[in-house]
Structure 1
Amino acid sequence: MTRHAVGDVTGCTHRVPSCTLLPPVRFHAIRAGRRGEGVSVHRHAVVFRRATLASTLSLILFPSIPAFATGAAVDLDQVVVTATRTARTQDQTLAAVTVIDRAEIERLQAPSVPDLLRGRAGISLANNGGPGKSTSLFLRGTESDHVLVLVDGIKLGSATNGSAALQDIPVEQVERIEIVRGPFSSLYGSEAIGGVVQIFTRRPQGPFEPNAMLAIGSEKTRRASAGLAGRRGDDTRGGWYSLQAAHETTEGINAYRGTRNFDPDLDGYRNTSLTAQGGYRFNERWDGELRVFRAEGRNEYDGGPASEADSVQQVLGGRLRHAPNERVTFTASAGGSADLSDNFFDGVFSSRFDTRRKVGGLQADLGIGAGLLTLGFDWQRDEIDGTTAYAVDRRINRGVFGQWQQAFGAQSLQASLRRDDDSQFGGETTGSVLWGWDFTDALRLTASYGTAFKAPTFNELYFPGYGNPALGPETSRSVELGLRGAHGWGVWSLNAYDTRIDDMIAYDADLGDFGGPNNIDRARIRGVEATFDTTVLGWDLSGSLGWLDPENRAGNAGKVLPRRARRSARIDLDRRFGDFSAGASVTGVGERFDNLSNTTRMGGYGLADLRVGYALSNDWQLRLSLNNVLDKQYETAALYNQPGRNWLLSVRYRPGR
């Protein structure tokens, strides 16, 4: 259905200097990587082990130390930036974080970004009819517009309906994804009630890295991608570049089986995308980056006010960073994003919804004593245009924030405070505190408290005949307790949380002549997440388990919030046999309801995906994925079909390292 309608935060890239890391104190990330991966951390959890004094001192890095000159370069796969807006190794991060790197993306052979995220800790998805169709992501039971989505540090999404079109970002353009669970408005402002999902586009690690892929599959699916990337220079001066193009087309499936605008034909999807980016380090004190991502899509669908749509997702960004000394870094960034949609009904133009967003920011990272102080200013301007006339079609938000990070022996602290001033609804202040205690060599206890908010969308405020300009922001407060461990057999994490959301925006039948949105809803969401990563008889085994109680506490008090399952699980199993590889993923989702009154039930389901690969040479690989091998019929949104058994065969070229 129609949507009605990004440079990374710190600029930290593979083997590039100026990444501010706090001392790891007693722990460091370890793991012998799989073939071709080198050394990296576990995929789904944090590994702890007592560090020697020498290794600890070697990692006390400040912004201008070139290329981690004290030792081997630190790979971005070991660094998380989303949880703090500064670079931290995964074992230092106090928030609940999942990182999906490029090696895992290629190993799992997921056909899309939503498929890659399916079943991850805290995540529920609702898709309107197969490949390329509108997909909503619910994180920790919060609303789909309570999740902040970033592409290389730039906010992605539509200001009219508040959603981000994850389905329009091709997997071939993605280098890694960081999923940070919990309230983070104190660093990012609006929308980060459930958490933050940041997608990083592909970038190089070596001097020259070409790649190419061709694939065919079910529903006449055709895919192709090619790219060039590389970096030149030394630790004090040099540049990098990356250019990646991708195209995919599929006949799709019959998306909708309801009665509204029912059409039993196949609903196809086409996407063409390009990423171009580069950076240069002028000397030990100055470096900068520029990047652009654009994806153009053509989508066919049923059940809505239109039957086809041409869409564009675009992100532009640039960053300049100056490190006058070893304890101070200043970063200036600017950019913008666009969500553009032209809608048609049976080939006749019907509507246009365009969102354009401009952003800018200043950030200072100051090493003070044993801690790191971060101060920042964010500016954002949203503009909408199209065939629908809104009473107000632009707004500006300004935000200032501060954050303190410090380790005290076996304990760590992260505290942040932010003030946002929005031209539509006024000001909002949010804050958070995260604490960690490494009480043994293998165990870490974490606790946190945070507040967050979500600004109302243009549709909720001003859509003709529906909007309510008196709306205020939705607000939340969350507490969380976590435990992480590492042992000889593997690593694991366990997190329990309680989130209470006030002033949720819901339809109010008593508002105006025809009803409309109002701040009348409330919710309490409790949940437990568990992740694990281990090796059993030579097989790499990882997964996540989740229990959720998303309770509505207002007009439908005691009911479950729609499209959230109380129970969910995902297990990934992979192994190499020389030049062969084999794997499987199993996802289980409990029953859900499609409406607030819980009268439309969607049954639980289990999906099984299989994959095999063969290395034709050091540079060429042949891969086959079989998805939904049991041909399970299921739905994630009522009346919208999901793909049955399907396959994809690909050949990939990437020079061995």
Structure 2
Amino acid sequence: MKHPLTLAPLAIALAGNALADAPTTLDPVIVTATRTPTPETATLAAVTVIDRAEIERRQARSVPDLLRGVPGVTMSQNGGAGHVASVSLRGTNSDHVLVLVDGVRIGSATLGTSPLQDIPIEQIERIEVVRGPRSSLYGSEAIGGVIQIFTRHGGGPLTPRASIGGGSFGTLSASAGLSGGGERAWFDLGINAERTDGINACDGRPSPYAGCGVFQNDRDGYHTLGVNVRAGYRFSDRASLDLHLLNSHNRTEFDGSMYGGNVSRSWQQVLGGEFKLRPLTPWTLTLSAGHSWDSYRAYYDDASEGIDDRFLDGFKTERDSVALQNDLRIALGQVLTLGADYAKDSVSGTVDYTKDSRDNLGIFGQYQGEFGPTTLTFSLRQDDDEQFGTHATGNAALGYLFENGIQVSASYGTAFKAPSFNDLYYPNYGNPDLDPEQSHSLELGLQGNLPLGWATLGRWELNLFRTEIDDLIAYDAPTQSAANIESARILGIEASAQARILDWDLNSALTLMDPENRSDNASDGNLLPRRAEQTFQLDLDRQFERWSIGTTLFVSGRRFDDLANSERLDSYSLVDFRAEYAINTALRLQARLENAFDEDYETAYLYNRPGRAFYLTLHYEPQRLE
């Protein structure tokens, strides 16, 4: 018997004469999947694009909120706004996801993860989520896939923007920006701020194995300030320069103690530049460089004792990178990419790591070819890590487009993840003898249009995947340290569809997954922790002249919080409502009701999630006159 949700994305195709003609839209161009501009319908990778229009339509308040319903994505968060959020792609670990901002690798080299909860959503132009291994193009970390965040680009006439809002949990937010440019130049300046009293983050118990390990029945607030600066200039049709800076300063309260702290201050900064040159018509040369900075400090704040933010612990990561890429159009429909990138990670803080820096040099090549209805992509990469030596990865994909518009594809890829500095050197945990985690994945894909006679209503996509990961790093009780003792096999199905029916815009996404632990211990056969077996999201939106309304249904199946599968987190359903009124061409009033039925749920054991909440936001941005 089929799972009932498996039919949901496909039901759109059965609407028959009830379907209405959809407006013509341009096919989005994907950069992340192949490191070259490729139309979304032409790429053989499983990709989801979230543009600025969708961010505004869904009235998303954070990057984790925005990613929640993407196929293959599982989110977990240790509390409310601003608290640590983990993203899993296709059932892999949260540190198996590579996160880029405008092409620059970000995140903590000590933890191995990226603070998506601190990326200011007001400064984002577009997000590309590529699911499946991409180490053959990017090196370490891209076992589950790549998430690339593009900041606002600017350009066009001088255009100001501003917003102010507020709502539940004492939340206040404001943002302002200015974009513009000329025939050859572009720029965007933006600033945003938010504060919230938050919720009680954790119903912990005085034990290191129960949630936060302490009990503080108080609200845990969050304050953030973000700044984005981006500018560029096109010297000619063959040369251009793009520079960008994104900075986020955050203060987060959490349930803690005088030993571990209960307040953190963190800073995220990404600085980068890209120079493009086309010496010859078929040859594009790209030189890019970047610097990312991730800093975290923990304090203890107890006003009753007259102690104000006593510093306890701190970590800082600096990541420098430079890349040279050559794209050669060797024939019609055929592109050869050759490149090299160099990266260096440095860490510092209150923990004395045995080794505090390492570098990596990667050489990669890729071929993309179109031969009538057949598309081929093949890529190879070799990384030379200062600590782990050479490591080769590859990816191959083959697709065929039938006359009815349905494309069939198959791909195979390998990937790896180098251990983090905490895995290697953290006191009473690290193991300097660890090997990199390794994976190999197989994927089958189908995609096509939803037709009504000669008109096209939307698109659908179906992906089946199998990933096997070896040498997974986990805590080994007998040695009381990290060790390569785990392995996993993940089977999954992703289905999605977008259509327009009776003036309603529908977007649906379904993921069914079996993330099985294959370790030679008591956890063998268990589900990997914090991965939901099923997730489903349905968005409905409609425009009525000045009004627009919408709703989102999100359903998550059960998950477990531990390797032993002893702590079960129940399934849950969330319903959000949203509305917008265009006061005039420049002024819009938005309202959003989150978790409308006040569902009580957890995505991490004993960590609370917000209940029913209401937010109101006023936006000002004149329409561009091109």
Q: TM-score surpassing 0.5?
A: yes
- Aligned partner of residue 390 in structure 1, secondary structure: coil
Is the 1:588–1:607 Cα contact (8 Å) retained in structure 2? Answer: yes
Q: Does 1:625 align with 2:569?
A: no
Counterpart of 1:522 (choices 487, 496, 502) is: 487
- Which of 434, 448, 466 is equivalent to 1:498? 466
- Cα drift, residue 205 of structure 1: 4.8
Q: Confirm whether residue 418 of structure 1 aligns to residue 381 of structure 2.
A: yes
More strand by share: 2
Which amino acid is 1:105 matched to? I
Alpha-carbon displacement from aligned partner over 1:472-521 (angstroms, at most 9, x marks no partner): 1000000000000103242100000000000111111222xxx1111111
Tell me the residue number matched to 1:343: 298
Alignment of structure 1 residues 364-513 onto 2, 5 Å = 364-370=326-332, 371-488=334-451, 489-511=457-479
Aligned to 2:322: 360
Q: Look up the equivalent residue of 1:248 and give its one-letter code.
A: E
Rounded to whole Å, the distance in 2 between the matches of 1:253 and 1:644 is 9
| 1:514-545 Cα deviation digits (max 9, x unpaired) | x1111111000000000000112211001101
Q: Which amino acid aligns with 1:546?
A: T
Shift in Å, 1:206: 2.5
Shift of 1:39: 3.1
Aligned equivalent of 2:197:
251
Contact 2:155–2:188, Cα closer than 8 Å, also in 1: no
Q: Secondary structure at the match of 1:219?
A: helix
The 2-side partners of 1:241 and 1:615 are apart by 27
Q: How does 1:101-112 map to 2 (within 5 A)?
A: 101-112=51-62
Percent identical among aligned pairs is 50
1:311 to 266, 269, 272: 266
Q: Find the partner of 2:246 among 293, 316, 321.
A: 293
Rounded Cα–Cα distance in structure 1 between residues aligned with 2:350 and 2:67: 34
* Paired position in structure 2 for 1:654: 621
Aligned CA RMSD, in angstroms, stands at 1.3
Asked if 1:92 is matched to 2:42, the reply is yes
* Structure 2 residue matching 1:257: 3-state secondary structure: coil
Q: How does 1:132-171 map to 2 (within 5 A)?
A: 132-171=82-121
Residue 210 of structure 1 aligns to a residue whose secondary structure is strand
1:546 and 2:546 correspond: no
Q: Is the 1:256–1:303 Cα contact (8 Å) retained in structure 2?
A: no
TM-score between both structures, scaled by the size of structure 2: 0.91
Structure 1 runs, 4 residues or longer, greater than 4 Å off: 31-34
Q: Verify the 8 A CA contact 2:429 2:475 in the aligned structure 1.
A: no
Following superposition, the deviation at residue 303 of structure 1 comes to 4.6
Offset, 1:560: 0.2
1:183 is the counterpart of 2:136? no
TM-score (norm 1): 0.87
Q: Please tell me the residue identity of whatever aligns with 2:366.
A: Q
Counterparts in 2 of 1:88 and 1:32: CA distance versus 1, 3 Å: farther
Q: 1:227 to 1:33 in 2, by over 3 A?
A: farther
8 Å CA contact retained: 2:152, 2:230: no
Q: Please, which of 180, 185, 194 is the counterpart of residue 239 of structure 1?
A: 185
1:333 is aligned with what amino acid? S
- The CA deviation at 1:442 is 1.8
Distance 1:286 1:528 in 2: 43
Q: Which residue number corresponds to residue 283 of structure 2? A: 328
**Structure 2 residues without counterparts, runs of 5 or longer:** 1-19, 206-212, 302-308, 452-456
Q: Is the 8 A contact 1:343 1:351 kept in 2?
A: yes
SS at match of 1:314: strand
Please give the per-residue CA displacement for 1:595-640, whole angstroms capped at 9, x wherever unaligned: 0000000000000000000000011000000000000000000000
Amino acid at match of 2:197: E
Residues in 2 aligned to 1:123 and 1:380: alpha-carbon distance in whole angstroms: 27
CA contact (8 A) 2:225 2:250 kept: yes
Equivalence for 1:262: 215
Q: Give distance in 1, aligned partners of 2:22 and 2:122.
A: 22
Letter in structure 2 aligned against 1:411: T
Runs of 5+ consecutive residues of structure 1 not aligned to the other structure: 1-30, 42-77
Residues 1:221 and 1:33: Cα distance change in structure 2 (over 3 Å): farther
Contact (CA 8 Å) 2:22, 2:500: kept in 1 or not? Answer: no
CA distance in 2, matches of 1:411, 1:478: 22
Cα separation, 2, equivalents of 1:632 and 1:409: 51
Give the C-alpha shift of residue 467 in structure 1.
Answer: 0.8
Distance in 2 between residues matched to 1:419 and 1:490, nearest whole Å: 40
Q: 8 Å contact 1:425–1:471 — kept in the other structure? A: no
The offset of 1:348, in angstroms, is: 1.4
Task: Provide the secondary structure at the position in 2 that maps to 1:274.
Answer: strand
1:39 to 15, 20, 25: 25
Q: Bigger shift: 420-429 or 449-458?
A: 420-429
User: In structure 2, what is the Cα distance between the partners aligned to 1:211 and 1:32?
Assistant: 33
Of the structure 1 ranges 284-293 and 158-167, higher mean CA displacement relative to structure 2 is found in 284-293
Cα distance in 2 between the residues matched to 1:602 and 1:360: 43
CA contact (8 A) 2:450 2:499 kept: no
Instruction: State the alpha-carbon separation in 1 of the partners of residues 447 and 193 from structure 2.
Output: 41
Distance 2:64 2:361 in 1: 31
**Cα distance in structure 1, aligned partners of 2:265 and 2:485:** 35
- Asked if structure 2 preserves the Cα contact closer than 8 Å seen for 1:395 and 1:423, the reply is yes
Matched AA of 1:630: F
The aligned amino acid for 1:537 is: L
Aligned partner (choices 549, 568, 573) of residue 606 of structure 1: 573
SS in 1 for 2:541: strand
Aligned length: 581
Distance 2:130 2:268 in 1: 23
Counterpart residue type for residue 206 of structure 1 = G
Quote the Cα distance in structure 2 between the aligned partners of 1:288 and 1:625. 39
CA distance in 1, matches of 2:592, 2:586: 20
